[in-house]
């Protein structure tokens, strides 16, 4: 009994929380540096909207959990791929074009998700879809954790290796080129890694907001803007933060509060508090 609770239920959930938190925080940090914008998060290129649609359509067609997960992962990656392709059709594929394309693709998939909610059976399928979109780790099994491990570890490893280059990229595209950095190639690497991680995370946790936005700021407050230190710090803070918030989600009330709701309830006021402080790490 104890064995089951610890190894089959609690531990996978703790691991999942750690991995999801680390992924979202690291993606947010990388994107804020790459796009030189402290307001972007892991979701800016439409990965969450894509994953949400993938999950919704899978739930509509069959409620097989593994299929839902795979569909969420695939559509999350597809959405960002689409945004990347759209941005490439412009003459000069800049980061700004990529962000705009991401917003376009995100809006498109959100609309499709609404369409699926509208046509879904309101007694059985609709609640599952809504519940999935709220985000949570209550259904996580050890298999899920094993499954999400490769894409997340890959993303973390590569981003850790190139982390100092994010400093150079964050000086601006022309400046980075002048410093001898191949901006387009690094942009592709960062977007690929962040997308793999976020899609894997979202596919098992549902949509959990306010981690990829807030944690990088907290990291900058604690260790400064240098990505050499900020990247590992974001991973550690994100992992710890989500694990703790998930504990709250599980224990705060008699029935569980969805994690995605709690990260926003905790994250939004916390962000407001951070912005009040002077040294938030950007101007």
Partner 1 sequence: MRLEVRNATFAYRGGDEILRGISFSVSEGDLLSILGPNGCGKTTLIKCLCGMLKLGGGEILLNDKAIHSLTRAEIARNIGYIAQEHGQVFPYSVLEVALMGRAPHLGWFSLPSDKDIGIAEKTLEMMGISHLRDRPYTEISGGERQLTLIAAVLAQQPKMLVLDEPTSHLDLKNQIFILGIMRKFAKEGLSVVMSTHLPNHALHYSSRVVLMGKGGDITVGSAEEVITEENLSKTYGVDIKVLSVSVPMGTNLRFCMPVECAACID
Residues in touch with partner 1 (CB under 8 A) = 33, 36-38, 91, 161-165, 167-168, 170-172, 174-175, 177-182, 220, 224-226, 228, 281-283
Closest separation in Å from C-beta 171 to partner 1: 6
- Taking phi over 0 as left and psi of -120 to 50 as alpha, with beta for the rest, 210 belongs to left
Least distance (Å) from partner 1 to the CB of residue 271?
A: 18
User: Closest approach of Cβ 228 to partner 1, in Å?
Assistant: 6
Please report how close the Cβ of residue 177 comes to partner 1 at its closest, in angstroms. 6
* Element containing residue 124 per DSSP (H, E): none
> Which is nearer to partner 1, 59 or 183 (by Cβ)?
183
The terminus-to-terminus CA distance of the chain in angstroms comes to 53
CB of 141 to partner 1, least distance (A): 35
* Dist. CA 262–CA 139, nearest whole Å: 17
Measured from the CB of residue 180, what is the shortest distance to partner 1 in angstroms? 3
Which of residues 144 and 173 has its CB atom nearest to partner 1 in the complex?
A: 173
CB 153 within 8 A of CB 209: no
CB nearer to partner 1: pick between 108 and 271: 271
HSE-CB for 4 with a 13 A CA cutoff: 1
CA-CA distances (angstroms) from residue 84 to 40, 174, 195?
16, 20, 11
Report the residue number, 32 or 203, with the smaller CB distance to partner 1: 32
167 versus 192: smaller Cβ distance to partner 1: 167
Dihedral sign, Cα of residue 150, residue 151, residue 157, residue 160: negative
Nearer to partner 1, 31 or 73 (CB): 31
What is the DSSP code (8-state) at residue 6?
Answer: I
242, 235, 239: which is closest to 262 by C-alpha?
242
């Amino acid at each position: 009994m104890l064995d089951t609770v610890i190894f089959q239920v609690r531990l996978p959930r703790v691991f999942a929380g750690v991995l999801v938190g680390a992924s979202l925080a690291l993606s947010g940090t990388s994107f804020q540096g790459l796009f030189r914008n402290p307001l972007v998060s892991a979701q800016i290129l439409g990965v969450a909207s894509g994953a949400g649609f993938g999950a919704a359509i899978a739930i509509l067609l069959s409620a097989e959990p593994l299929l839902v997960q795979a569909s969420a992962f695939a559509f999350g990656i597809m959405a960002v791929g689409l945004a990347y392709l759209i941005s490439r059709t412009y003459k000069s594929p800049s980061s700004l074009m990529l962000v705009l394309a991401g917003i376009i693709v995100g809006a498109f998939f959100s609309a499709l998700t609404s369409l699926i909610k509208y046509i879904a059976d309101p007694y059985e399928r609709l609640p599952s879809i809504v519940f999935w979109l709220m985000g949570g780790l209550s259904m996580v099994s050890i298999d899920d954790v094993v499954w999400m491990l490769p894409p997340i570890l890959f993303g973390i490893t590569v981003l850790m290796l190139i982390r100092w280059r994010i400093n150079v990229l964050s000086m601006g595209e022309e400046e980075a080129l002048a410093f001898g950095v191949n901006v387009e190639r690094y942009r592709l690497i960062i977007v690929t890694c962040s997308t793999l991680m976020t899609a894997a995370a979202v596919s098992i946790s549902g949509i959990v907001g306010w981690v990829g936005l807030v944690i990088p700021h907290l990291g900058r407050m604690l260790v400064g803007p240098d990505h050499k230190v900020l990247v590992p710090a974001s991973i550690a803070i994100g992992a710890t933060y989500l694990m703790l918030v998930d504990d709250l989600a599980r224990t705060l009330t008699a029935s569980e509060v969805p994690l995605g709701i709690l990260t926003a309830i905790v994250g939004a006021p916390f962000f407001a508090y951070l912005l009040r402080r002077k040294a938030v790490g950007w101007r």
